Copies of this chain bind each other. A is one copy, B any other.
Amino acid sequence: MKLEGQHHRTLYLRDDGTLRLLDQRALPFRVAWVDTRAPEETAAAIREMVVRGAGAIGAAAAAGAAQAAFCARESAFAEDLAAGVAAIRAARPTARNLFYGVDVVLAAIEAAGPHPAQARAAALDAARWVADDDAASCAAIGEHGSALVQDGASVHTHCNAGWLAFVDWGSALAPIYAAHRDGRRVHVWVDETRPRSQGAKLTAFELGQAGVAHDILPDGASGLWMRQGRSQLVIVGADRIAANGDVANKVGTYLLALAAAAHGVPFYVAAPTSTLDGATPDGDGIPIEERAADEVLFAEGVDADGAPATVRTAAHGSGARNPAFDITPAALVRGIITERGVIPARADAIARVLRPTSAGGA
């Protein structure tokens, strides 16, 4: 959308604490917005994936923490604030950015002193800073990563780590947008990304809007595609990166990394440093959310008239497991494209990046 001259962000935080969210459940078939006023409403929007994607979750969580300050009674400010923030923290477990966004706002509230009015003003400013900083970081990721995207390359990606997953620009897609803007010919292989099909729905939508050539692939195809030399580069996003460089991202990412490794295709992770989690030593410490079985047993989309529709695609009586993320070991990651440059997926490099900006709670 950005590159077509339209300009949307995925969310807006108003002066009264209302958060306006682009409803990602309706995309790509419908553009709808959802407003939340209380942290519990924002937590529900995160849980139900009205808003999804690491950066967008982080900004929404920051806004939710600010809402906790807005909604807290003056007579019980600390308790109400804590309860609201707890609701946000419990919304989804995997994305580091959620906790980062909350921590930034809480630090601002603490620094503002005991008066609720000052706390609210500081929280609003901090939540907006998280959103603006996310957008700026993604733009910088685009610039740093663009050099990796050579003219004529096909880039393979998984799930959606475009502007819809962040406040603006995105992480994995930002280098592609930058290369496209600079006139390089680039084509993207888009993994469908079952069960919620964020690749087929959101990444394909974004790329189509931006005029970037692309084709959707079943999630099982990346091995063959690598074997046949059809992908020159992989860039994916991340929901959390552990201190040693292990990466949590949408389930299926690890398989794509294994396929890339088997055929010598460079595999990069694009993420703002707010996704780095210095407090979690490795991937085994990252909690993996498991979502409802129905997401696997059914498929959601639109019918021939464009109306929302759901079909059961699995045998009656069978159950399903639905882990939403997986862990890609650091050894398979060629580099992490951050707003501060491309860094190795190694403990020393990650520690170095985290040190000067440790205010975020790492």
Contacts and interface: CB of A to CB of B under 8 A. Distances in A.
Given A200-B297, A218-B194, A255 B223 contact: yes
Contacts of A339: none
A250 interface: yes
A332 B260 CA distance: 16
Interface stretch (A2-10, A95-103, A298-306): A298-306
A320 interface: yes
Contact of A193 (B220, B251, B317): B220
A311 interface: yes
Interface in A173-230: 189-195, 197, 200-202, 204-205, 207-208, 214-225, 227
A285 interface: no
A207 to B, nearest CB: 8
A118 interface: no
Contacts of A326: 220-221, 223-224, 227
Contacts of A201: 313-315
Please give the count of copies of this chain that the complex contains.
Answer: 2
B200 A258 contact: no
A311 B314 contact: no
Contact of A216 (B193, B311, B320, B323): B320
Interface string A250-275: 11111100110010000000000000
A255 to B, nearest CB: 4
Contacts of A259: 254-255, 258
Contact of A318 (B216, B301, B317): B216
A309 interface: yes
Contact of A220 (B194, B207, B214, B314): B194
A254 B224 contact: yes
Contact of A311 (B158, B191, B251, B309): B309
Nearest to A326: B224
A205 B315 contact: yes
Nearest to A28: B315
B254 A321 contact: no
Contacts of A340: none
Nearest to A319: B215
A320 B215 contact: yes
B318 A215 contact: yes
Contacts of A309: 303, 309, 311
Contact of A314 (B204, B219, B223): B204
A247 to B, nearest CB: 12
A109 interface: no
A124 interface: no
A111 B210 CA distance: 64
Interface of A: 28-29, 158, 189-195, 197, 200-202, 204-205, 207-208, 214-225, 227, 250-255, 258-259, 262, 288, 296-304, 309-323, 325-327
| 4 tightest A-B CB contacts, nearest first | A220-B252, A301-B311, A223-B254, A299-B299
14 contacts: A28-B315, A189-B321, A192-B194, A192-B313, A192-B314, A216-B319, A217-B296, A219-B252, A220-B250, A223-B254, A224-B251, A258-B259, A300-B311, A301-B311
Given A202-B315, A254-B259, A300-B313, 9 more contacts: A192-B314, A197-B314, A200-B313, A220-B252, A223-B255, A225-B323, A299-B299, A301-B313, A302-B312
